[in-house]
Amino acid sequence: MTHSEFNEIYYKQADEVLRNHGFWRQNSHYVKQNDTEFFIIYKNTKRTLFFGFTFVYCHTFMKNLDGEYPDKIMLPQVSPFVFNPSDLKKLMRDGLNNYRYDYEKINEYVGNGNLPIDLENMSEKDASDFIDNILKLAINQGLEFLKELKPEFTLYQLKEFGKDLWIEQNWISDIEKYISEKKTFANNV
């Protein structure tokens, strides 16, 4: 199977499933947004190589590297919650109380050092089954994590387990500002 043939199967299945759950497609990725969070199903590719899928979550009020609020896909490297599908499944099975933020793991999830998936020896049925499993996980555990993701949880994770990296300090600042403005608004209503 070629990369193009895989993409054709992927987009057909993903469009049918994900659009029914409020996702839209942006380039080769699918995005869902609620009030304050994005959930991105990020398709990891480099030219014609396919490295799998990554689930990326970020808050809409957290600025990107250009100091602007995201209106499009955030790169996994600048998002605090990045998971490969099997790790997200394990997290949701074990519960969020067992989660420990680790910025170093983010680079592991974006294809650095990973071997590409062998599409050449994949049949159409194998590709369809592979994609179906990813989509089921996105709809079940992926949307559940999106529902449970709150700014206070992110702030706790960054302060408790962060490494004082520049990007983490920016995220903390953005979250604290958002929480403060939310409290001020609530007190004035």
pLDDT digits (tens, 9 = 90+) for 104-147: 887 666 555 566 788 889 999 999 999 999 999 999 999 999 99
Q: Calculate what percentage of the chain has a pLDDT beyond 90.
A: 52
How many angstroms separate the CA atoms of 156 and 153, rounded?
5
**DSSP code string of 24-56:** EEETTEEEEE-SSEEEEEEEEEETTEEEEEEEE
Cβ-contact 28, 4 below 8 angstroms:
no
- The number of folded domains in the chain is 1
pLDDT digits (tens, 9 = 90+) for 28-58: 899 999 888 889 998 887 767 777 888 999 8
Which residue is listed with tokens 């942006």?
26
Cβ contacts of residue 25 below 8 Å, gap of 6+?
11, 14, 15, 18, 31
Query: Which residues form the domain of 22?
Result: 3-188
Q: Which of 54, 115, 113 is nearest to 79 (CA)?
A: 54
pTM for the model: 0.88
